[in-house]
Amino acid sequence: MVATIEQLRGVPLFAGLPDKALTQVLALAKEVDHESGKPILEEDHSGVGFHLILEGNATVDVSGTEVARFGPGDYFGEMSIIDGLPRSATVTAAVDVRTLAITSWDFEGLMEQHPSMMRAMLVELSGRIRQIEKTRS
């Protein structure tokens, strides 16, 4: 499966971008396959990119506790791009997973060119924080 503009348009982060910008995203990105049971990224490790799940499902663990499950259209890795700190969670392929990966330097350039991406990311991050707060109550 090759990522398409229609797939990107279905992701809130990219929804408001024109076709020209979505074409740019696809040109910068690389599709990466991740084997079932293997970590895609690991908590407390440095990160150099953003991942959008195209196919498959992944678990999200913080300090060894599952806090979420991600599937097609979900994305992760943006926090380390924003703050430059190590990963806050481990994301593991629950089944074989294919992601659209974008390096941090390319992703930063996209955000600078398209500020609507930053707002969409803030909304998503706020939702994730609220979800975590509910589980701790």
The CATH number of residue 76's host domain is 2.60.120.10
Structure tokens at 123: 């909304």
Closest CA to 67 of 90, 93, 36, 37: 90
Question: How large is the average pLDDT for residues 59-75?
Answer: 93
User: Domain tally for the chain?
Assistant: 1
Which residues constitute the domain of residue 21? 5-136
- The angle subtended at Cα 87 by Cα 82 and Cα 90, nearest 5°, is 135
What pTM did the predictor assign? 0.83
Lowest mean pLDDT among 21-25, 39-43, 97-101, 119-123: 119-123
CB 30 within 8 A of CB 23: no
Per-residue model confidence (pLDDT) at position 1? 57
Q: 98 pLDDT exceeds 90?
A: yes
Q: 84 pLDDT exceeds 60?
A: yes
Q: 131 pLDDT exceeds 90?
A: no
CA distance 71 to 79: 18
